[in-house]
Structure 1
Amino acid sequence: MIVATTTGIEGFEISSYEGIVFGEVISGINLIKDMGAGLRNMFGGRAQGYENELLEARSKALEEMEFRAEGFGADAIVGVKMDYETLGSDNGMIMVTCSGTAVKLKSFT
């Protein structure tokens, strides 16, 4: 499945718009990752545990959105947007959401 932030796909014509699709993931950060990030905050450096958690959440949100587009019989998703939020009383959870328009494509050739 082609997933793009653009409104079209080069070399293809959108033949039909099937609907808006979403992917949402809420992921908790565990105590070990939180402690490691706290140390990085004090001494500098990258918070690898948080980065990996964000990467995993983003991948899962995109997979979920693609799965929903396949349910429409779509060939691609255009106009994709992503958003990140922290949740919980101690901001210990991250929410990754993505949305786009599921479309069917027709080749120009």
Structure 2
Amino acid sequence: MILTTTNSIEGFKIIDYKGIVTGVAVNRKQTGMSFSMTKYYDSLESNIEEIKEVGFQKLKDNAKKLNANAVVGINVDIETFATSGILMISVTGTAVHVVSEK
């Protein structure tokens, strides 16, 4: 599946727009402040990467349900809830069916 933040894919033609798809992921672990700030930020960075991958996988799964082979115009939104340590990632784009122009 092709994923892009742009609204078109070079060398491909969009032949059908399937609809807007979203992948949302929330971490289940809470990141505590009882250790050093360096460790806290390292943990936060690691959590964001892990959760972002889950969000993208959900986006692809939802696009596949619409028989799409690409998602264009992807936007990634990251929300942090500092008091609870919860992270939420929302990945949204337009599911499309593309064909090669060659």
Q: Same fold (TM over 0.5)?
A: yes
- The residue aligned with 1:35 is 34
The correspondence of residues 1-109 of structure 1 with structure 2, limited to 5 A, is 1-31=1-31, 34-36=33-35, 39-40=36-37, 47-87=41-81, 90-109=83-102
Count, aligned residues: 102
- State the 1:27 CA deviation: 1.1
User: Identity percentage over the alignment?
Assistant: 30
- State the 1:29 CA deviation: 3.9
RMSD of aligned residue pairs (Cα, Å): 1.9
- State the 1:107 CA deviation: 1.2
Q: Secondary structure at the match of 2:34?
A: helix
Q: Deviations over 1:76-109 (max 9, x none)?
A: 0000001011237x14201100100000012111
Q: Secondary structure at the match of 1:47?
A: helix
**What is the TM-score with the length of structure 1 in the denominator?**
0.84
1 or 2, which has the higher helix percentage? 1
For structure 2, the 5+ residue unaligned runs are: none
**What is the TM-score with the length of structure 2 in the denominator?**
0.89
Q: Which amino acid aligns with 1:61?
A: G
